[in-house]
Amino acid sequence: MAKAQFDKNSILDKTIMLFWQQGYHGTSMQDVTATTGLKPGSLYNSFGNKEQLFIASLERYAQRSADKMKLAMSYGTGEGIVMLLTDMVAARGKKDYASCFIIKTQLELTSTEPKLAKLAGDYLSRTKAQYKLAIASEYGEALSEVYATSVMMAVFGIRVYGYQQPNEADVLESLRLSLHWLPWTKH
């Protein structure tokens, strides 16, 4: 069997954007071949069916998000969270704004594809657990669950409400008020 002559991560990056823009049900394998430039046989041999390709895309996105969080946290938990939230607020103002692929997946597929929605929910739970662990190490265990929940709610709010294109200064001030325990003064 011949080895794949393409970069799988590059293909997954393209399918992430395609699924993000069109949704799981709105994306056909013909759309995938047109977007990636791959022949159907190459796609099926490398990724399997549409569901398996979607799962691989979700895994790639989740890993990139986890890597970004890890990098941000290397500056300190509070500073890292502020950096991540500030970046999310800035991103929602871009012309080609796209919310969180994992959140979008859970919202889109909860009633139609429970297996995929659960997978997205599992990624979100892992993200919250990462926040909770980091928060506990810097702010103490006592409030780590509440603080991690408040960060996740802020993330969901930014990602979903971001489509309304609210004023950036208003969003940042709202975050400063609701997440007052974070070191906003440095940003």
What pLDDT digit, counting tens, does each position of 94-107 carry? 777 778 899 999 99
* pLDDT (0 to 100) of residue 99: 81
Supply 90's token pair: 């800035």
Around 119, how many Cα atoms within 13 Å sit in the side-chain half-sphere? 18
Mean pLDDT rounded to a whole number for the chain: 92
What pLDDT digit, counting tens, does each position of 4-56 carry? 578 999 999 999 999 999 999 999 999 999 999 999 999 999 999 999 999 99
The gap from C-alpha 185 to its chain's centroid, in whole angstroms, comes to 26
- What residue segments make up the domains of the chain, in order of their start? 55-182
Collapse the DSSP code of 17 into the 3-class scheme (helix H, G, I; strand E, B; otherwise coil) and give the result.
helix
How many residues make up the chain in this entry?
Answer: 187
Q: Is the pLDDT of residue 3 over 70?
A: no
Q: Is the pLDDT of residue 186 over 60?
A: no
What pLDDT digit, counting tens, does each position of 54-77 carry? 999 999 999 999 999 999 999 999
